[in-house]
Amino acid sequence: MARRLKKLIKAFRFIERNRPRITLDADTRLNPSTHCIQLKEDANGHYSTAADLAVRTWLAVPNTVKRWIGFQAYVRNKNDFAGTQKTDVQFRLSADGITDLIWDGAWLTAGVGDWNTEADIASNIATFPVTEQAIQVVVNLSTQLAVLTPEVDWVKLLYESDLEWQEDYVVRSLIPELRDQIRPIGEYALDLAAAAATIDLGAIETPYAIVGVDSAYNLTNDPKRLADIASAYDSGTKILTLTGSQALGEHVLVRFLYQPVVAFTTSQDYTELAKVPAIVVEDVGLFSTHRIEPGDHVINKSTGDGYQLTEGYHTDIEFQIRWVADKAKDEQRLADELKRFFANNKQLRSRGQDELFDLYVIDRYGQQTTPSQDELQSGRLRGRIVRAVFYAGDAKPVTGVKRFRATGGNVEFETP
């Protein structure tokens, strides 16, 4: 049975904003003026002629990749006065960011001095392992003349993907980020029915998914909460062990971290007492749509075969986040956690593409000041993912042009 796959491009661009994600060997640099990687000049204006100098891209993990099928680099090599090329650029790939691989009849661990040409990679990348759905490009820069350096602007890879666009941004990216990062503090207060050195947090009526204990206090003896009496928490049994036995009738407060339910829905399923505290992403819409033209492409320079992305557009994705709790304090703390989330996450990583998109709140936080008929407290905000990319169709096959020549009124195109 044929799968419905689409061709997408993963680009590693050597521009200033990507500098934190790029690893530069000694005697290499990212040039912020020309937006490329190159060898680094010494105090005398000379470049190193050492072998194996390299620049490593970040490890990209587009988790919808099914197969890598194309590879292209934009390289500027330099010649001497006789027209002989004196610089070179070669490559390795890594599937884990640790072990470098080269093609030598199979993908093998690279040794010292082992590198592939761009043609080697492009012709064999379809067999590169995708078990981890990750890839890193290692670029080797070399020169035979200390006054010349090669330059590389970008490296692009073509891959097959089963990505569904809106699902990727909202369901597979935004919601998991909220689940991973939102950790409000809840509180459980009780008067001890007997002297005890442990407290069972499984007895809490609200169905919190407790992930850890922040602190505990004996408010009878320590009303200012200065002495933390929490010692250890067993997440399996939900038993909190205290630093010592607390007496009968003493008032103990436990502050714990929990993971709220985060869901994408338009139903009432996540606003019932059995499923709160909860965060619900809803009312998703697309705004400010603009076509992408022309589309990006990847060409195998040896054969001239390649693909170009078509029918693309940028759009802003707006969404509403509603949070619901059965206690006013929980609702307020969920609001604080969401404020912290958006303050600390200025960009959203699309997990299916491993691309970054700006993320921010567009409407102020609103709070329901009185409980609903179900005795639930809630709040709302609106957010936006900016210039999300969509492609309506699959990439189209194209042929690369190696040379354009016009002679005597006749036009000729030379392909590889």
The predicted pLDDT at position 364 comes to 76
pLDDT mean over 334-355: 96
| Cα(83)–Cα(154) distance, integer angstroms | 25
Strands 100-103 vs 107-109: parallel, antiparallel or unpaired: antiparallel
Higher pLDDT: 294 or 36? It is 36
pLDDT tier at 273 (50, 70, 90 boundaries)? very low
Does pLDDT of 16 surpass 70? yes
Q: What share of the chain in percent tops pLDDT 70?
A: 92
Report the side by side order of strands in the sheet with 239-246.
Answer: 196-200, 239-246, 230-234
- Do 56 and 131 lie in a common domain? yes
Does pLDDT of 368 surpass 90? no
Does pLDDT of 256 surpass 60? yes
pLDDT mean over 222-233: 98
The predicted pLDDT at position 71 comes to 98
- Do 136 and 220 lie in a common domain? no
Is 192 part of a structural domain of the chain?
A: yes
Give the pLDDT confidence of 55-101 residue by residue, as tens digits: 999 999 999 999 999 999 999 999 999 999 999 999 999 999 999 99
- Do 222 and 325 lie in a common domain? no
Is 402 part of a structural domain of the chain?
A: no
The predicted pLDDT at position 270 comes to 47
Does pLDDT of 272 surpass 50? no
- Do 155 and 171 lie in a common domain? no
CATH code of the domain in which 172 resides: 3.30.2000
CATH code of the domain in which 38 resides: 2.60.120.260
- Do 222 and 310 lie in a common domain? no
- Among the listed ranges 89-103, 173-187, 226-240, 272-286, which one has the minimum average pLDDT value? 272-286
Does pLDDT of 275 surpass 60? yes
Of the residues 101, 127, 161, the one at which a domain ends: 161
- Among the listed ranges 86-100, 150-164, 248-262, 319-333, which one has the minimum average pLDDT value? 319-333
The predicted pLDDT at position 271 comes to 46
- Among the listed ranges 34-38, 267-271, 284-288, 312-316, which one has the minimum average pLDDT value? 267-271
State the first-to-last Cα distance of the chain, in angstroms, to the nearest integer: 35
Does pLDDT of 336 surpass 80? yes
The predicted pLDDT at position 375 comes to 72
The predicted pLDDT at position 316 comes to 97
Q: What share of the chain in percent tops pLDDT 90?
A: 84
The predicted pLDDT at position 402 comes to 66
Q: What pTM did the predictor assign?
A: 0.86
Is 245 part of a structural domain of the chain?
A: yes
The predicted pLDDT at position 405 comes to 62
- Do 87 and 44 lie in a common domain? yes
- Residue span of the structural domain in which 348 resides: 165-181+272-396
- Do 236 and 278 lie in a common domain? no
- Do 278 and 364 lie in a common domain? yes
The predicted pLDDT at position 66 comes to 97
pLDDT tier at 363 (50, 70, 90 boundaries)? confident
- Do 21 and 148 lie in a common domain? yes
Is 100 part of a structural domain of the chain?
A: yes
Mean pLDDT of the chain: 92
| Cα(168)–Cα(166) distance, integer angstroms | 5
- Do 315 and 170 lie in a common domain? yes
Domain count, the chain: 3
- Do 25 and 83 lie in a common domain? yes
pLDDT mean over 380-390: 95
pLDDT tier at 416 (50, 70, 90 boundaries)? low
Is 401 part of a structural domain of the chain?
A: no
pLDDT mean over 136-144: 98
pLDDT mean over 294-303: 90
Q: What is the largest CA-CA distance in the chain?
A: 104
Rounded to the nearest 5 degrees, what angle is found at the Cα of 286, between the Cα atoms of 349 and 395? Answer: 65
Does pLDDT of 415 surpass 90? no
- Other C-beta atoms closer than 10 Å to the C-beta of 406 total 8
| Cα(116)–Cα(92) distance, integer angstroms | 6
Spatial neighbors of 157 by CB under 8 A, at least 6 apart, are 9, 10, 11, 68, 70, 71, 125, 135, 137, 298
